[in-house]
Each structure stands twice: as C-alpha cells, then as structure tokens.
Amino acid sequence: MRLRVVYDNEAKEGLERDWGFSCLIESADRRILFDTGASEAILSRNMEKLGIHKEEIEIIALSHEHWDHIGGLSAVLHPDAKVYLPASFTAATKKKIERNAAGIIEVSGPADIIPGVHTTGELGTGIKEQSLVLDTAVGELVLTGCAHPGLDTIMDSARVFGNLGGVMGGFHGFDRLELLRGLKMIIPCHCTVHKREILDMYPEEAKKCEAGEIIEI
C-alpha cells in the first residue's frame, strides 16, 4: 500500500500548499482519495503534477463536512466514484454529491470499505468525523482529517481492527503526546498544532507531512 499526500498546509517544491488536507491511498489496483482539500483549483493542479487522474479514483472518503476537507470535491467527483461520508452530513451536501457520483455510502459505525481499509464510523459529539484505518506492515495506521473528536478517542476506536502501528493526518490541538509512544509511524499533517513537539519527541518514528510526500507502508 502506498499513501500520497495531495493537499496539505505544507508542500514540496513544485506543488502548492494551502490550508486543507487530501491523501491518496493506493493498493495494487485500487485508489481511495481521503478528503479533497479546500480549493478545486489547487487540488486539480497538485493532482496533475503528481500524475493522478480523477477517473482512477474509485472511492472518495470524506472525514467531515468542513470546507478545508470537502472544498475540492467537484474537482474529483465523477460518475463512477462512490463517496463514503458520515451519515450526519447535511442533506444539501449529500444531494449535491449524489448528482455527480455513482452514489453515497453513509457511515455510522465501524465498517470495511475495501479489504485492508476500514472506517472508524462517525465519532464525536460536536463535529462528527470518520477516520480511516489501514492494515499495514507496521499494524493498523489511522488516517485522520482534523481529529475533531480527539485523537485519543479516534485511536481507541481504531483498535477494534487490530494493534495500532501508526497515526497520520490532522491532529488538531491534541497534546497528550505521550499517548503516541509505541507507535512506529507518526505523521502530523495539516492543522496539527504540536507538529514541532511531535517531531522532536519522536525523532525515529515521526515524519514531516507535506503535499507530494509518498509513504510506502
């Protein structure tokens, strides 16, 4: 499995950085796009530079209904795409997506998306959010959007799928950094407030996140 960061607050040279997050999950013959960043134009340009064609994306999974995660959606929707979203999304957004995709799958509890890729289901009491959980060589890797329900809550929910090996994505204000001890891969992206501290505290396990980054797992 391979992960490619398509959209992030930081970017490698040649790609555009912007507040938002999007990451492509590639297995042997399947492509899942997790979140779509804030801007259609920036998402399209970054995808073009990375050689990613929207028609190859079979599934789009949206973490939560915030503009910096669903803003680029129109740039990647196509009639064969299936869209996994938290059941609590507004009816207006659901309708808009349904018109331009093969269909939506409303997520409530933990579920399998494809073999090796699961969803925690929607979590949280305020802003509801789903995270993905990937089966990898280091154990389960949790992929978060903004982690509004709290990274600790998300990690606990992900454990139903197996031993946790890593976390990646936006961790927001998560500051119980000692809870990351024991993980083999820690990749703080997007809105993570304590990026610097995480990279300093876990120099072996933590890796900088930026658009254009490729993670082989």
For Zn ion, the binding residues (CB under 5 A) are 66, 68, 146, 191
Judged by beta carbon, residue 21 or residue 161, the one nearer Zn ion is 21
Smallest distance, Zn ion to C-beta of residue 129, A: 7
Smallest distance, Zn ion to C-beta of residue 53, A: 25
Judged by beta carbon, residue 25 or residue 146, the one nearer Zn ion is 146
Judged by beta carbon, residue 127 or residue 179, the one nearer Zn ion is 127
The encoded tokens of residue 198 equal 């995480």
Smallest distance, Zn ion to C-beta of residue 131, A: 12
In DSSP terms, which residues pair with 74 in a beta bridge? none
CA distance 126 to 168: 22
Smallest distance, Zn ion to C-beta of residue 203, A: 26
The encoded tokens of residue 108 equal 């409530």
CA distance 120 to 133: 7
Judged by beta carbon, residue 36 or residue 136, the one nearer Zn ion is 36
Smallest distance, Zn ion to C-beta of residue 30, A: 25
Contact 215, 10 (CB under 8 A): no
Judged by beta carbon, residue 144 or residue 157, the one nearer Zn ion is 144
CA distance 53 to 38: 18
CA angle 71, 24, 34 (to 5 degrees): 45
Q: Distance from CA of residue 151 to its chain's centroid? A: 13
